[in-house]
Amino acid sequence: MKKIAILQSNYIPWKGYFDLIASVDEFVFYDDMQYTKNDWRNRNLIKTPQGPAWLTIPVRQESLAQSIRDTRIADQAWAGKHWKTMAQNYAKAAHFKEYRDFFAELYLERAGSPWLSEINQSFIRAINGLLGIDTVLRSSSEFTLAPGKSERLLALCRELGATGYLSGPAAKDYLDLGLFAEAGIKVEWMDYQGYPEYPQLFPPFAHGVSVVDLLFNTGKEAGRFMKRGMTR
C-alpha cells in the first residue's frame, strides 16, 4: 500500500504533525489552501516560566482569499527575535547545546525569506532530518488542483498513485468517504491520543507545544515519545 497525507504547512509544528509525516510514504504540503488568521500557519507555542507562549511570524494578509503560498512576511526581524526568545527559555534544557548551532543557523538562513510557506517548509524539512524521517515531501503547487474539497484531495491521491490516505481527525467533518471508497483508496484517521510525557521544563506538562520543546528536552531520544517510537 502506498499511503499519503496532505496538510497545510505550519510553523515549527508539534510532534503530532511529524508523526503524521512519518506514517506515510509521501506527504504533500497543501499550501494552495486559504491562509487562516490566528492559526498554526504562522505561529506555535514554546514553554516559558510563565507557561506556554506564542512565537508568531508577522505576515501580510492582503485579502481574505489569499493562499498560504501567497502569504508574505511583514517584518524580517522576526527570525532574530524568535531565536533569542527560544534560546532564553531553553538554555537550561538537557539537550539545548546539542541543537543550539543547528537552530541558530536555520533561523539565520530564513531571516530574509519573503514567503511564509517557504519558511514553514524549510523548518519542517530540517526537523525531519533531526528526527530521522525520510518521507518524500511534495508541494500542492506541483499539481493541477481539482475543484471541491474532497475531490481535490482525491485527485492528489490518484496522481500520486496512492492506495491509502491518512488524514487528520478534523477532516471527519467534511471528507466524502464515499468518493475515496469508489476510487479504491482506503482512508485512515491519525490518532493523536496517548502520548507519554517526557522531562519538560516549567511544569505543568503541556503536549501541544512545538516539537522543538521535545528535541531540546530529550535529544536523540525524541522518537521514544512519539507514535513512531511507541509502535516499535
List, for residues 68-119, the tens digit of each pLDDT value.
Answer: 999 999 999 999 999 999 999 999 999 999 999 999 999 999 999 999 999 9
| pLDDT score recorded for residue 136 | 98
Average pLDDT, the chain: 95
- Residue keyed to cell 471527519: 172
For residue 193, give the nearest of 175, 169, 229, 217 by alpha carbon.
169
If one counts the domains in the chain, the total is 1
According to the model, what pLDDT value does residue 229 have? Answer: 62
Domain with 141 in it:
3-230
| pLDDT tens per residue, range 19-48 | 999 999 999 999 999 999 999 999 999 999
- Measured CA to CA in angstroms, residue 2 lies from 30, 106, 124, 136 at distances of 19, 32, 22, 12
- Average pLDDT of span 129-157: 94
State phi, psi for 108 to the nearest 5 degrees. Answer: -65, -45
